[in-house]
Each structure stands twice: as structure tokens, then as C-alpha cells.
Amino acid sequence: MFIPNVSQLLEIGDEYLFDVKSMKYIGAALAIGVGGFGPGLAIGNLVGKAMEALGRNPEAQPVIQTNMILGIAFAEAIAIYALVVAVMIGFVF
């Protein structure tokens, strides 16, 4: 089986199709895009379910609100990790 070299794939005549710098920025954009998608869905689902629970049992508001805020903080931490990875890809590597 023939596995082409990366330089053969990217080479068009004497020029390159993709630059390493441009691929680095595309990787950073994908990291923050995909890394922010999951926490966004999680926070939306979490708040929606908390509102349903408050509608069914308003007396449990302090417990539901505390757990909701804690869950939002954990989901947001994952998005912050994705942001850190994207910044590292963009500026460090």
C-alpha cells in the first residue's frame, strides 16, 4: 500500500496548498468551536430541566438553584479548557 508523504499531498508545483501557520489557526478554530458546542448544549439542557423542576416543585428552589449553578460552572470549565487549548495551538505551538 502506498502512503503518500505530507509534502507530496500539499505540494502544487513549486507552491504549497496549505501553510503550517494557516493549518494551526484552523486547528485552533476547530478546537474552540467543537469545545464550546458541548458545554453550550449542556448548559441549555441543564437550565431547561431546572426550570421544569421549579415548575413542578417551587418549594425546592434553593436546592435546585444551587445544583444548577454548580452544573453550569462545571460545564463552563470544559469550555474554558477548550479556549486554553485553542490559545495554545494558536500562539504556543
The pTM for the full model equals 0.71
What is the CA angle 73-68-46, rounded to 5?
Answer: 95
Please report, for the chain, the start and end positions of each structural domain, with discontinuous segments joined by +.
19-92
**Residues in a beta bridge with 15:** 12
Cβ 27 vs Cβ 73: under 8 Å = no
Q: How far is CA 49 from CA 37, 62, 65, 67, 93, in A?
A: 18, 15, 11, 11, 40
pLDDT of residue 62: 95
Among 1.20.20.10, 3.40.50.11540, 1.10.290.10, 3.40.50.150, name the CATH number for the domain at 19-92: 1.20.20.10
User: Distance of alpha carbon 70 from its chain centroid, rounded?
Assistant: 19
Per-residue pLDDT of the chain (93 residues; tens, 9 = 90+): 556 566 655 555 556 666 788 889 999 999 999 999 999 999 999 999 999 999 999 999 999 999 999 999 999 999 999 999 999 998 887
